[in-house]
Amino acid sequence: MTTLFPPALKPGSTIGFYSPSSPATHFAPKRTQRAIDYLEAKGYRIEPGALTGQADHYRAGSIQARADELNSLIRNPDIDCIMSTIGGANSNSLLPYIDYDAIRKQPKVFVGYSDVTAILLAIYQQTGLTTFYGPALTASFGELPPFVDDTYQAFETVTRAHRIPLTLPNPEQWTEQFLPWEEQTQAKQGRDNSQTFHGQGKVKGRLIGGNLNTMTAIWGSPYMPEIRDGDVLLIEDSLKDIATVERLFAFLKLNGVFDRVSAVLLGKHELFKDGDTGRTPMDVLREVLNGQPVPIVEDFDCSHTHPMLTLPIGAQVTVDFDQQAIRLLDCSVSDDS
């Protein structure tokens, strides 16, 4: 499969947003508007999806309505970037109805995270187009400074024309503090940031992965890319209890994933529920690996926490454990200017 790269975003590019699962524009209209205002102030044009402000109980609309909203943005020649508003639990329902032919004919920047992993991986698998595990409109750009600024800078750097190799930043602070979205008026409390490199030397491979819980919902389908020898695997999750995390890590082991990947990027787990064990997700992963020597970057900042880095799915990366650096080797967007 030939890897495709979407046109780079520029000042004045148009971002269309959609709600493939949870109805964030309905239950968090203030935060959504704050996100729109923020991106417009950065010079983008914003195009709302057809389901903006709507809800069908737990979702933004029926499966067909959500697919139609997404396809309308895909087929719109004036849209340069398609960004989800939030995740949820049901993005995988849309996969058979996405217009992949239109995506091949007119590639765009597709970005989101969490449950939208299903759509990002499906587009990559069906078309070869690099997609971006990164911020969502309401969830990410509705956040307040300083964290929203770090998230934006990472997004802009990766989705605009840039030199390679590109070393990913390590944010100075991070947060997982929960504040009610429609009531938040102040910045969240930050904590000193760190990520730990468990390994030696340097590995190179294709970046693949996303939200692990969502990946299990498309595993074995035509929409899930095969994990190949040498891949660098990104996995992250949110609000899970330790028993569920053990089950998910064991799922990867039973499917031979840890036998194939060259490294794992283990994202920060937002508000992890350790069951009073005092153990971390890294502790659980070590137990599941049972001594298997898999290089791991622990507490990577591409997850549900703030700020969030932006990663190109399908691009080549290096993980340098000696220099404690992660570098993008592909420019992941095409620059025709």
Torsion sign (Cα): 294, 229, 332, 68 = negative
Residue with tokens 């990559």: 124
Whether 287 sits among the annotated catalytic residues: the reply is no
- The catalytic position among 114, 238, 262, 332 is 114
Q: Which amino acid is at 165?
A: P
Active site residue 332: no
Which of 47, 236, 270, 298 is the catalytic position?
236
Strands ordered across the beta sheet of 131-133: 45-48, 14-18, 81-84, 109-112, 131-133, 311-313
Residue 114 annotated to the active site: yes
Do the Cβ atoms of 193 and 173 come closer than 8 Å?
yes
Q: Which of 176, 262, 304, 332 is catalytic?
A: 304
Instruction: Please report, for residues 7, 138, 300, the alpha-carbon distance to residue 169 in angstroms, rounded to integers and kept in the order given.
Output: 23, 23, 11
Peptide bond into 222 cis (omega under 30): no
The residue whose two tokens read 């409390």 is 189
Q: What are the residue numbers of the active site?
A: 114, 236, 304
